[in-house]
Structure 1
Amino acid sequence: MILNNNQITVTSPLLPDLNDFIPLLKDIWDRKWITNNGYYHQQLEEKLADFLGVPYISLFTNGTIPLLVAVQALKLGKDGRNEVITTPYSFVATSNILMWNNLKPVFVDIEPETGNLDPEKIENAITDKTCAILPVHVYGNPCDTAEIKKIADKYDLKVVYDAAHAFNVKQNGKSILTEGDLSTLSFHATKTYNTVEGGAIVCKDKETKDYIDSLKNFGYTSEIYITETGINGKLDEIRSAYGILNLTNINNAIAHRKYVAETYRKALKEISGISFFNEQKNVNYNYSYFPIFVDSSKYWLSRDELFTKLRDRGILSRRYFYPLITNFSPYENIPSASKENLPIANKMADTVLCLPIHHLISDKDLKRIINLILTK
């Protein structure tokens, strides 16, 4: 699809000012060090850890390899237990990384209030083969981390949070990225904060960070020693410099996303058949997405009809997450993937529509989007 000036995209990348970026590029050219833990890479790790309020952070070239490495770092499956409880309501990378690590995803249903894993259903799915829980903070909604921790401690399970949507989300003043054994981030161009492509693992101590840094660099521990079977997941200097500049813009971008979300909430709250998540108390959101749910028995269009109506008028929404992971062919024959086991996740996937939300949406854009939703 070719975009034109009248189209409103579902998201738009936060871009640093080109005039600010060029001097950093010149400096990178002068240094002649463009990857392998260079100056800007180290700077971005330090700045991100400070900005996010986390102890340590390890940068990656995208948001999927951190999940792969997190599983390796925690040695999941090495003790003979090979099942990981996870969500069907996510981007497919969440469960793909389990399959790549020869782990068996066990899908459980989600909470209708948040889209996140239901802790009660987590506990019911645990067997003697369960080694970990892999929840997702869906759309930046914090999971019930306290309850998940209780379950993990009770059954000696590791917890890896897929926090791809949760950049700078805080609960009770504390970063949710410090929950679990490890949390992973995505800095893809579609995310609230981006480094074009990129990602990270949040670590609680330097020993873990050093180990993860080795795993993402082929297993090197020194110039001539490889002690692990690692992978290449490093972030380069150009994207690191880009990320440093984007940190100076991110607060304003989040503030505007909040304004967009509040405008949608106010305009759509009384529309029969249109619903959305309520915000949790004491949470600072990043407003990465604004999903609505369309009940065609009360609203005059189905979700897909509304999607098409908006698209035909130049407004690009997204059915995210649809289809469910469990409806893709690599997963559909897993017993826990059955529709009977996942009624809430299936209903959410069949009714969700993410509306445009980003830092460039104008009041004119918002009025246009909302009027189309309100008009029969």
Structure 2
Amino acid sequence: MINVTKAYLGSKNRFLRYVDEIYQSGWLTNQGPLLRQLEQRLCDYLGVRHVILTNNGTIALQVAYRALNITGSAITTPFSFVATTSTLKWEGIRPIFADIDEETWNLSPAEIEKNLAPDTTGIVATHVFGNPCDVEGIEQVARRHKLKVIYDGAHAFGVQYKGRSVYHWGDLSTVSFHATKLFHTIEGGAIITNDDALAARIRLMINFGIVDAEHIEGIGVNAKLNEFSAAMGLCILDDIESILTRRAEIGRRYEEALADRFDLQLATLGSQINYSYFPVALLNEQHLLRTKAALNRMEIFPRRYFYPSLDTLSYLQPQPAQPRSRSLSQRILCLPIYPDLEAEVQEQIIAVMLQEHANYLPFPAISKLPVPPAQLLASALPSVTGSTH
């Protein structure tokens, strides 16, 4: 059975060597030595000042809202994993959706400006499938209206924009290190910032507000990552360069075979993407369902990701429709991609995609989006220097 992704585990012997350190120290959680080592190595790799590890990416978003005092409403994207929106609602913040750019599939700065409300205090944007948002455009909107910016970077680990980590933009970035991600800690996440004071406040917030054994400073929650998860993260980080290289090989083969038949996401100019997913937009929902069924018959299981468009969620109604997001969510299919996907299996997937496309052509089809120029798709990967959340 070929799923859309497969957790990378790395070397068992290397993982057990890290685990041996846990047994030697007896330190299981509460800012243990492996966690501190992982945070520092991630800072070095990403080129950022602070990586604050959390026990999942969802709580990372919730802590980020509180750390930046996001209240009232926040502009966000309808085309993302549900946690991007549900965390806002959970924290009592009203999500206001703005539609996406039809080529990059990211939140459109122009649409943000159209949908601002008097009580809007923040923007929560997703680097969709690891493709960087229009960070300069979003920053301009945020400055004009004095808004905080949080990027959901769950898919963007290792992604660079204009020569540095995409996590440099915004007031905060949050990350998911769930087992399905290309870098993971089994379960886990992080909050990333270059602001020293903000980082210090967040570290208190994820540990109940506890300063030391006798002092508590402000309200907090338990969002700490344990040592066994940190051990897995160190094990995966040891192999991150080969992981990214292999994903790029698979992603480029898909591009080569499918770009002239299907709508692919337009990589943001100046970006180096990570091939965390390989999304394909089909002609319409009927075409998608037929293709998905054909792949399923071969025990190949792509995923409708992201579906449904978040502006259709029942607990957020009534909600203005976001037509670009709704249309894309009905056509999007993420194909299997992970480091040990066999070339023969990938060729089978490609063959089914092309055959079903050819079979469907006699049926009515909607207009296609422009096919992204190959030269805009990333070809370089960052080197190591040091969709569940």
TM-score by length of 1: 0.92
Structural mapping, 1:59-138, within 5 Å: 59-77=53-71, 82-138=72-128
Match of residue 260 from structure 1: 250
Alpha-carbon distance between aligned partners in 2 of 1:157 and 1:279, rounded to the nearest angstrom: 26
- 1:256 partner amino acid: R
Task: Return the letter of the residue paired with 1:349.
Answer: S
The Cα offsets for residues 298-340 of structure 1, whole Å up to 9 and x where unpaired, read as xxx611111111111111100001111222221132xxx332x
Amino acid at match of 2:210: Y
User: What is the alpha-carbon distance in structure 1 between the residues aligned to residue 215 and residue 111 of structure 2?
Assistant: 45
Which residue of 335, 343, 346 corresponds with 1:355?
335
Q: Are residue 8 (structure 1) and residue 7 (structure 2) matched?
A: no
Q: Work out the CA distance in 1 between the residues paired with 2:213 and 2:158.
A: 35
Give the alignment's Cα RMSD to 1 decimal.
1.2
Give the distance between the partners of 2:119 and 2:205, measured in 1 at CA.
26
When structure 1 is superposed on structure 2, of 144-153 and 18-27 the one drifting more is: 18-27
1:279 counterpart = 2:264: no
Give the secondary structure class of the aligned counterpart of 2:276.
coil
Mapped partners of 2:163, 2:56: distance in 1: 28
Give the 3-state SS of the residue equivalent to 1:353 in structure 2. strand
What letter corresponds to residue 156 of structure 1 in structure 2?
A: K
Determine the structure 1 residue equivalent to 2:150. 160
Residue 3 (structure 1) aligns with: none
Deviation sequence 1:256-305 (CA, Å, 0-9, x none) = 1111111111111232xx211132332111111111011049xxx61111
1:350 deviates by: 0.4
Distance 1:135 1:218 in 2: 27
| Partner of residue 338, structure 1 | 320
Amino acid at match of 1:130: T
How far apart, CA to CA, are the structure 2 residues paired with 1:128 and 1:270? Answer: 45
Structure 1 runs (4+) deviating above 3 angstroms are none
Q: Distance in 2 between matches of 1:318 and 1:117?
A: 22
TM-score (norm 2): 0.89
Alignment of 1:116-265 (within 5 A): 116-265=106-255
Output one character per residue of 1:202-225: Cα deviation in whole Å (capped at 9) or x when no partner: 011322211101100011122211
- The alignment-based identity, stated in percent, is 38
Other-structure match for 1:21 = 15
- State the alpha-carbon separation in 2 of the partners of residues 28 and 162 from structure 1: 31
Q: Which residue of the partner structure matches residue 4 of structure 1?
A: none
Residue equivalent to 2:294: 309
Structure 2: 5+ residue stretches without partners = 360-389
CA distance in 1, matches of 2:199, 2:259: 45
How far did residue 179 of structure 1 move? 0.5
Distance in 2 of aligned mates of 1:133 and 1:15: 35
Q: Aligned pairs, how many?
A: 356
**For the residues of structure 2 that align with 1:129 and 1:63, how far apart are their CA atoms?**
26
Q: 2:247·2:338 contact (CA, 8 Å) conserved in 1?
A: yes
CA distance in 2, matches of 1:279, 1:88: 19
Q: Whole-Å Cα distance in 1 between the matches of residues 95 and 62 of structure 2?
A: 14
